[in-house]
Amino acid sequence: MDAQFKKGLLDACVLSVLSKEESYGYKIISDLKDIIEISESTLYPILKRLEAGGFLTTFTRQYGGRLRKYYAITRSGRHKLVDCEEDWREMRGVYQKIFEDENIFK
Amino acid sequence: MKKSEFEARLLEGLETLSLDTLSDAEKEKIIDYYTELYLDKAETGMSEDEIVAEWGSPRDAAIKVLSDGADDDREEAKQTAKADKKRFKAKSGEAKRLAKKAAKEAKADKKRFKAESGEAKRLAKKAAKEAKADKKRFKAESREAKRRGGATKEDASKTRNEAKDSADGGGSANKNIKINQKQGGKKMFRNKTFWTVYFSGFIITFPLTAALFGAAVGIASAAIAVVVAFLAVAVSFILGGAALTVFGVYYAFISFNDGVLAVGSGIVLFGLGLLFYAIVSLPAKALRAGKNKKTNA
């Protein structure tokens, strides 16, 4: 998949995971592994960018004698998810037209 | 590879790729992120080597961490890094060229500034010289004005006293007169034009004034001489006439006709003497009478 195209998709994927419940790094990767190819190194900048944009927030919680960092979606993050859904519908419509309709450019 | 080695090489890669612009706090965050992932995976039963192997090479990890978050191919990441390096070289070349240009312009500005400040210094010196000369001139003028102001102080005080005498007792009116006179006098005496006109007028009119004065003195002297002469004549005629009258009366016993003639001449002379006296004393009497009238009024 194209890197730039994938970048937008990954944002939506991460926000979608967090919209269900708070999560942590390893779990996010585990949840997305079956949907899209994503590595630990790739996830870090996505989380950083979404946090900088105010779409998610972080906090730590005690877990097994250590502090684990958790991520939670914000209201802005939910709005962004809605925007991503609309973008996806629009894109799907375009892709359908250009790839499924053979007569479109005739 | 062990986790610590991975972390060390990861940090190296981050420093190199970010051109050492990454802060220590950011580097720590990244290391903490990997540490957490490591601990979470270790709980699932994976070994250290397995976990680190899943992370890939530290350099690729560094590239991905510093990227926008796309899961690029290794090759693509290399290409991007190369392109970035090229772009950076070009930019730094451009930056060097701009820096050189700026340095040149700064040199030129420095030269221009030196020249302008030299000119400014020269103008400032000139202005300072002129100011000194003005100060000297002002001091001389003020000394001259003070001298003139001192000479007219007496006149000013006379005027002040006259004003005091003529006043009806109102202190403030006198004060105002004094102030106005002083101020007017000072203003007048500071006026160069006034003195020039005054002295010119004096020099021009002096001969005429002298002549008039001389004439007045001469006339007065002549008048006095006439009066004195008349008085002398009057006195001599009165005395002479009286003496002749007495002699005539005595001589009438010797020669009646000659005696009568002498008495007559004596009376005439006496009368003339009184006439002369009257001529001289009448104007004075009239003046005295006029003065008395004025004082009585």
The domain that holds A86 is classified in CATH as 1.10.10.10
Angle, alpha carbons B199-B204-B208 (nearest 5°) = 125
Picking from B56, B71, B76, the nearest residue to A37 by CB comes out as B71
Q: Which of B196, B180, B204, B205 is nearest to B148 (CA)?
A: B196
Q: Structural domain tally of chain A?
A: 1
pLDDT of residue B183: 55
Q: Between A and B, how many CB-CB pairs are < 8 A? A: 70
The pTM (predicted TM-score) of the whole model is 0.44
- Examine residue B43 and state whether it is found in any structural domain, yes or no: yes
Q: Reply yes or no on whether the pLDDT at A19 is more than 60.
A: yes
- Examine residue B269 and state whether it is found in any structural domain, yes or no: yes
- Examine residue A106 and state whether it is found in any structural domain, yes or no: no
Domain that holds residue B16: 3-71
Domain that holds residue A9: 3-100
Residue range B92-131, pLDDT digits in tens = 788 888 888 889 899 999 999 898 888 889 999 999 999 9
In B205-241, which positions are buried (b, 16+ CB within 10 angstroms) versus exposed (e)? eeeeeeeeeeeeeeeeeeeeeeeeebeebbeebbebb
Are residue B231 and residue B174 in the same domain, yes or no?
A: no
Task: List residues of chain B with CB under 8 Å from any CB of chain A.
Answer: 30, 32-34, 36-37, 39-41, 43, 54-56, 60-61, 64-72, 76
Q: Reply yes or no on whether the pLDDT at B37 is more than 80.
A: yes
Question: Chain A closest CA to B40's CA: distance in Å?
Answer: 6
Cβ contacts (< 8 Å) between A59 and chain B: which residues?
A: none
Percent of chain A with pLDDT over 90: 62
Indicate yes or no: CB of A41 within 8 angstroms of CB of B37.
Answer: no
- Examine residue A105 and state whether it is found in any structural domain, yes or no: no
Are residue B292 and residue B243 in the same domain, yes or no?
A: yes
Q: Reply yes or no on whether the pLDDT at B236 is more than 90.
A: yes
Are residue B186 and residue B234 in the same domain, yes or no?
A: no
Question: Chain A closest CA to B109's CA: distance in Å?
Answer: 44
What span, in angstroms and rounded, lies between the C-alpha atoms of A88 and A79?
14
Which one of A23, A26, A40 makes the best mutation probe of the B interface by having the most chain B beta carbons within 10 Å? A40
- Examine residue B146 and state whether it is found in any structural domain, yes or no: no
Residue range A21-39, pLDDT digits in tens = 999 999 999 999 888 888 8
First to last CA, chain A: 28
Are residue B67 and residue B17 in the same domain, yes or no?
A: yes
Average of pLDDT values for A81-88?
Answer: 92
- Examine residue B28 and state whether it is found in any structural domain, yes or no: yes
Are residue B234 and residue B285 in the same domain, yes or no?
A: yes
Average pLDDT taken over every residue of chain A: 89
pLDDT band at B294 (very low <50, low <70, confident <90, very high): low
- Examine residue A94 and state whether it is found in any structural domain, yes or no: yes
Which chain A residue is nearest to residue B32, measuring alpha carbons? A69
Alpha helices, H only, chain B: 3-17, 24-43, 48-55, 58-66, 74-151, 153-166, 171-190, 192-252, 256-296
Question: Chain A closest CA to B75's CA: distance in Å?
Answer: 13
Q: What's CA B251's distance to the chain center, in Å?
A: 101
Q: Reply yes or no on whether the pLDDT at B226 is more than 90.
A: no
- Examine residue B211 and state whether it is found in any structural domain, yes or no: no
Question: Chain A closest CA to B73's CA: distance in Å?
Answer: 9
- Examine residue B114 and state whether it is found in any structural domain, yes or no: no
Tokens of B15: 């420093």
Which chain B residue is nearest to residue A11, measuring alpha carbons? B69
Q: Structural domain tally of chain B?
A: 3
- Examine residue B67 and state whether it is found in any structural domain, yes or no: yes
